[in-house]
Every structure is written in C-alpha cells, then in structure tokens.
Chain A
Amino acid sequence: DAGVIQSPRHEVTEMGQEVTLRCKPISGHNSLFWYRQTMMRGLELLIYFNNNVPIDDSGMPEDRFSAKMPNASFSTLKIQPSEPRDSAVYFCASRAGTGGNYGYTFGSGTRLTVV
C-alpha cells in the first residue's frame, strides 16, 4: 500500500491567493483527518470525516478554511484567501475504524508558506 498520499509537498503562495491541499487516504480506511502543525501550537485537528461525512469541524480556524470529501478516496482542504499566519505543515491522516484502538496513518504533509 502506498500509504496516505498528500500533494503538493511544498506550496509557496502570496497572501490573498487560494490554496488547495489534496489527500488520498489508504484504501478501505473510513475515517480521514486534517491536521495543522506549528512549533507554537503543535498538532491541531482541523476537521475529520467518517465515511465521507464531516463529523467535527470545530477546529477549522475560520470561514476562510473549507474541506470536502467527495468520495472515499479523495479529500481537499482549501484556504481562501490565504494569510501569512496560515503558514504551517498540514497533515492528512486516515484510520481503518472508529475505535480508539485503531491507529492513524499520516501522510508526509504539505508545507505551506504564505508570503
């Protein structure tokens, strides 16, 4: 299995531009999570889906952030308009089940820099 695949690995954009991050979870995993990681705040959960349905988006910073999961094999996180404070590493993770015994498999992340 290729694992969780994220693209792009790096993104540099100007303030005000739209940014779209992409994620392909592991086939058969029914939960998908979007995280943001910074040195100051650590790993923050933004939103997660079970069976393609958004369950908890309380971590989404503001209306500039939106996430979709149109099918079981693809999800996007969009920031519009982007701001310098959005600069961080964004991780996607998937999980095979909904119980606490199931571990998360993380992608390699997208390093976003907004200038």
Chain B
Amino acid sequence: TQLLEQSPQFLSIQEGENLTVYCNSSSVFSSLQWYRQEPGEGPVLLVTVVTGGEVKKLKRLTFQFGDARKDSSLHITAAQPGDTGLYLCAGGKGAQKLVFGQGTRLTINP
C-alpha cells in the first residue's frame, strides 16, 4: 500500500508567522500535488511538482519535491487568515490514481 503521511496533522499559528508542512512516503512518485480545501468545498489544486528537487512558488507559498521524489514540503511565509484550510498532498504514479495524504489542518489566527 502506498501511503503518504502528512505532518503535523493540526497547526494553529498567529498571522504573520512562517510555517512548513510535510508530506512523506516510502514510495517514489512521478508527481506530487498539493490541494487546499476550505470548509464546505472540495479540494482545489494548488500545484503539481514532477522533478526531484523541484521548487515552485505561488506568491507566499513555496513547494518543494524531494530529490528522491518520496517527499514534499509546503512553506508559507507571513501566514494570513485566508490561508486557513485543510492542505492535502497527493502522489501520482504514471496513469494510476492519486494517493492522498490525511491532510494538515491549518488555522491562522488574526
């Protein structure tokens, strides 16, 4: 079974702080995606990384794919209340279905 473990499961910080959440696996993936889910809505794709060591930036969010393509991290700089949500990572292997992690529930307090 391919498992993706996310840490921490819950994170509550103050507005303006920086944070990093992690997504780890013992399996190698051809791609890694990050989604954000807000209450009452479905997950929304933020980014896809496909190359080991790849770094992508989306405004204050920085995504990194591990060199061995087994892990990924999401770093948020100067967090804002609008960043609050459930962050899900998902690993892909070719044409197979994605494997989702359990998510990190992030709360940014004003």
Contacts and interface: CB of A to CB of B under 8 A. Distances in A.
Asked if A and B are interacting partners, one says: yes
Interface in A45-88: 45, 48, 56
Given A42-B102, A43-B100, A45-B97, A101 B45 contact: no
B96 to A, nearest CB: 7
A99 B97 CA distance: 9
A103 B97 contact: no
Given A105-B45, A109-B41, A42 B94 contact: no
Task: Determine the interface band of chain A, counting residues with CB < 8 A from chain B.
Answer: 20 to 34
A4 B45 CA distance: 13
B62 interface: no
Interface stretch (B12-20, B26-34, B75-83): B26-34
B42 A33 contact: no
Given A42-B100, A43-B100, A100 B30 contact: yes
Contact of B98 (A4, A91, A104, A105): A104
Given A33-B97, A48-B97, A100 B42 contact: no
B30 to A, nearest CB: 5
Contacts of A56: 97
A108 B48 CA distance: 21
A89 B35 CA distance: 17
Nearest to A92: B42
B92 interface: yes
A103 B42 contact: no
Contact of B31 (A100, A106, A109): A100
Contacts of A4: 42
Contacts of A103: 33, 45, 48
A49 to B, nearest CB: 11
B43 A106 contact: yes
Nearest to A59: B97
Given A4-B42, A99-B94, A108-B41, 16 more contacts: A42-B102, A45-B97, A56-B97, A91-B42, A98-B95, A99-B95, A100-B31, A100-B93, A100-B94, A100-B98, A101-B31, A103-B48, A104-B90, A105-B45, A108-B40, A109-B42
